[in-house]
Amino acid sequence: MIRPFVKKIYNEHKWFKILFKFPKKIFDFYRFRIVDEKRVIYNNFYKFQGYQLNLENPKTFNEKIQWLKLNDRTPLHTQCADKYMVRDYVAQKVGEQYLIPLVFHTEDVSQLTMDKLPDYPVIIKTNHDSGNYVIVRDKKQFDLNAVRNKMRAAMKKNYYYHTKEWQYKNIKPRVVVEKLLMQKGGSIPYDYKVHCIHGKVEMISVDLHRGTKEHRRNWYDINWQRLPFDWASILDGVKTVQSDIDIEKPNCLDEMVLLSEKISSSFKYARVDWYEVESKLYFGEITFHHDSGFQPIEPNEWDLKIGAKLKLQ
């Protein structure tokens, strides 16, 4: 009960934040920069999974993701984790026609100006982390300075130190502006996350009602049949278990599977994200450690079953 109470005070009272700002910085520096990365991974794994991580003989898929974090590191991982540099890799593998139209990119936030933004909707994001983005549907109706401040703060952070996912460590931060993909009615298209093991698609996840209390996540095989497990995130207090509502099979499913296998062929495990707009596919991003491997796959037998497909040596 003490921890939620302190957190509530911290979030609601400005003076409390100011008082503890310096000690918090020291503590964060210690836990993110000083503590050995393997120890951080062991601690977080036990915290979220509820059992001790075995890196000597990993069995579950989540255990093997932790092994990959520590042992599967190449410059290509860094390039493909970079939301800007990955565009070259994807263009080479499957063609630039699958890339979301690029509007602008810069390493200097001050270069993000109104004249650089088009009159159509865009998404402004950073290339080196996760979750830092702003959707701009009308450039006359948004606060440019607020967006600059958000991007500037994000560019000062190194995502590796928070997750110990090495591929993010050496990415040179930049701001990327892309055309906002929308369906005919103006809604954001589904985000299909295609999970590939040794260059073969094993499962596809799709989220429904993102950003609401009804947020759910469905899992399918390559034939668009439901898979009987949950690999759920906890987002804003909502556990994203499977929904009773089914999602219609995407028109481009076969093409999505084929392209994902081409893109993921260089990696032991990779999640390749796609958007489908009016029966046309657009590449989203590549992720190498889904949810950092800290969210349980339930029932556990599926964590073991999927884990058996991933060969580490």
**pLDDT digits 0-9 by tens, 27-68:** 665 566 677 899 999 999 999 999 999 999 999 999 999 999
Question: What average pLDDT does this structure show over 240-262?
Answer: 96
Spatial CA neighbour of 310 closest among 218, 199, 232 = 199
Does the residue 169 lie in any domain?
Answer: yes
The residue type found at 185 is G
Does the residue 144 lie in any domain?
Answer: yes
- pLDDT surpassing 70 at residue 20: no
**pLDDT digits 0-9 by tens, 129-148:** 988 899 999 998 899 999 99
Does the residue 287 lie in any domain?
Answer: no
Question: What average pLDDT does this structure show over 234-258?
Answer: 93
Dihedral angle sign, alpha carbons of residues 179, 282, 203, 54: negative
Question: What average pLDDT does this structure show over 67-74?
Answer: 97
Does the residue 108 lie in any domain?
Answer: yes
**pLDDT digits 0-9 by tens, 187-199:** 889 999 999 999 9
Contacts of 45 (CB under 8 A, 6+ apart): 52, 53, 62, 63, 66, 293, 294
DSSP string, the chain: -HHHHHHHHHHH-HHHHHHHHHHHHHHHHIIIIIS-HHHHHHHHHHHHHSS---SSS--SHHHHHHHHHHH---HHHHHHHSTTTHHHHHHHHH-GGGSPPEEEEES-GGG--GGGS-SS-EEEEESSSSS-EEEES-GGGS-HHHHHHHHHHHHT--THHHH--GGGTT----EEEEEPP--TTSPPPPEEEEEEETTEEEEEEEEESTTSTT-EEEEE-TTSPBPS-EE--EETTEE-PPPSS--PPPTTHHHHHHHHHHHHTTSSEEEEEEEEETTEEEEEEEESSGGGG-SPEESHHHHHHHHTT----
Does the residue 117 lie in any domain?
Answer: yes
Question: What average pLDDT does this structure show over 247-272?
Answer: 97
Does the residue 241 lie in any domain?
Answer: no
**pLDDT digits 0-9 by tens, 295-311:** 999 999 999 999 999 99
- The pLDDT-based confidence of 210 (bands split at 50, 70, 90) is confident
Mean pLDDT for the chain overall: 92
Domain count within the chain:
2
**Better-scored residue on pLDDT, 18 or 102:** 102
Position 303 scores a pLDDT of 98
- The pLDDT-based confidence of 1 (bands split at 50, 70, 90) is very low
Domain boundary among 182, 202, 221: 182
Spatial CA neighbour of 172 closest among 292, 69, 88, 78 = 78
**pLDDT digits 0-9 by tens, 153-199:** 999 999 999 889 999 999 999 999 999 999 988 888 999 999 999 99
Does the residue 30 lie in any domain?
Answer: yes
Domain boundary among 158, 182, 206: 182
Contacts of 118 (CB under 8 A, 6+ apart): 103, 139, 179
The residue type found at 95 is G
How many Å apart are CA 269 and CA 95, to the nearest integer?
21
> Residue 20 sits in which domain range?
1-34
- pLDDT surpassing 70 at residue 18: no
Does the residue 125 lie in any domain?
Answer: yes
247's tokens: 């999602």
Give yes or no for a contact between 99 and 87, defined as CB atoms under 8 angstroms apart.
yes
How many Å apart are CA 250 and CA 241, to the nearest integer?
21
